[in-house]
Amino acid sequence: MALYQEQKLKIYNSLKGEKEVFQSITEGYVGMYVCGPTVYSKVHLGNCRTFISFDLVFRYLKHLGYKVRYVRNITDAGHLEDDAETGEDRIAKKARLEKIEPMEVVQKYTVDFHNTLQKFNNIPPSIEPTATGHIVEQIEIIKDIIDKGLAYEANGSVYFDVMKYNESNQYGILSGRKLEDMIANTRELAAQTDKKNPQDFALWKKAEPQHIMRWPSPWSVGFPGWHLECTVMSTKYLGEEFDIHGGGMDLKFPHHECEIAQGKAASGKDPVNYWMHANMLTLNGKKMAKSTGNNILPEDLFSGNNDVLSKAYSPSVARFFMLQANYRSILDFSDEALTAAEKGFQRLMDAIALIPQLKTHENSSFDVKTWKQECYDAMNDDFNSPILIAKLFDAVKQINSIAAEKASITQEDLNTLQKSMHEFAFDILGLVPVTSDENTNNNDTSRIGNLVELLIELRKKARLNRDFALSDQIRDELANLNIELKDTREGTSYTL
């Protein structure tokens, strides 16, 4: 029996507003699509959080034994400024400002995106298609939607007819918005005169003379609408109906709402069974924004070269920090929170490294089997990584108690504990132990080790001389420097 048949996974479905037991369309297989980046600038931490969240989903589904096809697109055309249907293409604008070709912009920031996610230990998706690589398919689906009477051409552009669609479907089903309310709150704008209704959205836009990213079509030389690429690429690689569609909370409306309408218009089927949305990241209690300066790039986080944090933090610590909150919760980045996460991360890594050294006994005081299922229960509850992490720290306490010979464990339970800690911490959460040279160079580490060993020897002599005041002072002063001493029958060891 496959593990996914034993563990009942529940996913919060944004479409239904509740958690539902996950049932894949095809037994043993999962199709998952996640909206990727528009590659016109360096990826920011808020985007990284979304992709780390869905990396967790990807990892856990694979751990459960599903064969997962994970598709995440690259938007390299069609995304206009402010998510609107007027103005410059974001990539074309960057190319104009930097005086380079648009595809140079795409290449530069796609490489940055991949390098950054690699540092966070994200697994690459199964397929990573691009919008420009699927222009033909986008034109074909527009033809199909026009033939079905749900889109119309106007002065070389093509618009989706929301009013017509809403006669037999529900536009707003994902976001909970009613079309009547949208109409009542919309003011007609001059730039929308080609549209029958303000709510209609572009499937194809006729290119203005200054628009440098353009392709021929039956209607005009132009470019596809931003929403269309995801409908085309998701259905091409996952089918007209697939299991999971994910993205940031900010994409729920209008992007994902339009995807549902396009997919339903083209195939007559609801394209996605489970919609998942990751929440935003804030910095010091405020929304991250380049315009206000309340912003930090991943590379600045890793190097410490920024004005908002007091020190550098490793990618694995940052990943651990992000996973301490549920993906649907707003998470605030702050120096204090990251420092606490760094200490917790190191405690976890130290405990995992200690497991092979533990002595076994005939009986266990730690119910490893129950603990292991509690870890699964956490992940089965909509990928609840903060609860899983809490369960891992329950095991950390037991590991330290066993090391101090205040608790016991059998060889069988020890094997289960070691395997489970590795699977949950490394395979599922995707954490990576931080090597010493990520924070200090090897020479400094060696010097620190020699000094600590010298102090341990002085403390040992103080205890033999019954000078417990000095012994305690050495221990406490080292603790103030984040150097923890551990006394066992075999002697004294330390962890940084």
- In the annotated binding site, the residues are 35, 230, 255, 259, 290
As a whole number of angstroms, the distance between CA 486 and CA 330 comes to: 37
Place of tokens 């917790």: 344
Place of tokens 């329950």: 394
Binding residues for ATP: 290
Q: What angle do CA 189, 193, 194 make, to 5 degrees?
A: 140
Residues 6+ apart with CB under 8 A from 415: none
Binding residues for Zn(2+): 35, 230, 255, 259
As a whole number of angstroms, the distance between CA 134 and CA 128 comes to: 12
Nearest residue to 179 via CA among 253, 232, 247: 253
As a whole number of angstroms, the distance between CA 143 and CA 283 comes to: 45
Instruction: Write the Ramachandran bin of 127: left for phi over 0, alpha for psi from -120 to 50, otherwise beta.
Output: beta
Would you tell me how many other CB atoms lie within 10 Å of the CB of residue 42?
16
As a whole number of angstroms, the distance between CA 279 and CA 331 comes to: 8
Element (H, E) at 46: helix 45-63
Residue 332 bridge partners (DSSP): 282
CB distance 354 to 399 below 8 Å: yes
Residue type, 262: Q
Residues 6+ apart with CB under 8 A from 483: 452, 494, 495, 496
Element (H, E) at 347: helix 335-354
Assigned token pair, 309 = 């944090």
Residue 20 bridge partners (DSSP): 11
Instruction: Write the Ramachandran bin of 482: left for phi over 0, alpha for psi from -120 to 50, otherwise beta.
Output: left
Assigned token pair, 231 = 């409908």
Task: Dihedral sign for Cα 416, 418, 423, 425, please.
Answer: positive
CB distance 73 to 233 below 8 Å: yes
CB distance 288 to 45 below 8 Å: yes
